[in-house]
């Protein structure tokens, strides 16, 4: 699916960004096109969708665009720096703050992209992930929740499940097309579990065949099967854990046995 937004084919949105002078309360409008270099993908020229930044040079592109690019090249499309000698997908990270900015500057973009994704799944007879089908709750619902709080269900989490994982799918190598989306990237597991257990979990949920290999990366380190999850933060460093989650990036590559 083409993830870059095709709406640039339309006329320029009749809106601007309001700014305020430091010595005056007068408002001024800055044309939206002045921000294009910062909110458009250099590969598809559409507004950024799933903004993803290369850690080596901090250039940002649509996630699907940069993943496809790296299947044919290991250099940044903007500055041509070598991102990684063999696996450039290991050196990209989602930029959620920039994506939020893009959605706020282009109000109709997020809903447009959601419709495109729903159509993509429908045409292929696939189940639409809940994260795509449902939008963020409206402010009215939030107010109602505060006014009439609903008793929360108390769930006792076993003490041995002491690790919270965020499994970030970075893409599949060209030639790998048969797999299901990982609908629930957040997992609670034991710190004694190994990377091999994580790979088996991914293989089961995504219904991967024997010709497909799962590579798991944390930070800039490719993790080995035998490593336990509780040892990964010490092996990788502080960047391994974000907002209380151990962030594991994984990609699908063709097995050497294929």
pLDDT in tens, 63-76: 989 999 998 899 99
Q: What is the CATH number of the domain that holds 104?
A: 3.30.40.10
Distances from the Cα of 180 to the Cα of 65, 121, 173, 206, 216, angstroms: 20, 11, 15, 4, 18
Same domain, 102 and 170: no
Domain of residue 207 covers 163-254
Distances from the Cα of 69 to the Cα of 57, 73, 133, 249, angstroms: 16, 6, 28, 18
Q: Which helix (H) or strand (E) holds 131?
A: helix 130-133
What is the chain's mean pLDDT, rounded?
A: 79
pTM for the complete prediction?
0.47
Same domain, 78 and 174: no
Domain C-terminal end among 69, 94, 111? 111
CB proximity list for 32: less than 8 A, separation 6 or greater: 12, 13, 15, 16, 17, 105
Could you tell me the pLDDT band of residue 59, with boundaries at 50, 70 and 90? very high
Residues 170, 250 contacting (CB under 8 angstroms): yes
Say how far apart CA 258 and CA 247 lie, in whole Å: 29
pLDDT in tens, 216-258: 999 888 999 899 999 999 999 888 998 889 999 999 988 765 5
In the chain, how many domains are there?
2
Residues 4, 27 contacting (CB under 8 angstroms): no
Same domain, 95 and 176: no
């Amino acid at each position: 699916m083409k993830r870059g937004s095709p709406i640039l084919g339309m006329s320029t949105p009749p809106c601007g960004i309001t700014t305020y002078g430091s010595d005056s309360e007068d408002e001024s409008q800055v044309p939206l096109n002045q921000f294009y270099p910062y909110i458009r993908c250099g590969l598809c020229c559409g507004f950024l969708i799933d903004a993803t930044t290369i850690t080596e040079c901090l250039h940002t592109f649509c996630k699907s665009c940069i993943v496809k690019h790296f299947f044919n090249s290991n250099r940044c499309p903007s500055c041509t720096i070598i991102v990684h000698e063999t696996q450039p997908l290991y050196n990209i990270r989602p930029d959620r703050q920039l994506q939020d900015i893009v959605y706020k500057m282009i109000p109709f973009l997020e809903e447009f992209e959601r419709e495109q994704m729903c159509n993509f799944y429908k045409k292929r007879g696939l189940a639409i992930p809940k994260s795509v089908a449902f939008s963020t709750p409206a402010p009215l619902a939030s107010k109602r929740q505060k006014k009439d709080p609903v008793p929360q269900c108390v769930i006792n989490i076993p003490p041995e499940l002491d690790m919270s994982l965020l499994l970030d799918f970075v893409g599949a190598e060209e030639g790998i097309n048969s797999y299901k989306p990982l609908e629930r990237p957040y997992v609670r597991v034991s710190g004694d579990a190994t990377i091999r257990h994580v790979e088996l979990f991914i293989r089961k949920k995504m219904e991967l065949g024997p010709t497909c290999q799962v590579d798991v990366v944390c930070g800039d380190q490719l993790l080995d099967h035998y490593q336990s999850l509780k040892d990964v933060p010490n092996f990788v460093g502080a960047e391994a854990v974000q907002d209380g989650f151990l962030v594991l990036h994984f990609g699908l590559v063709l097995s050497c046995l294929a």
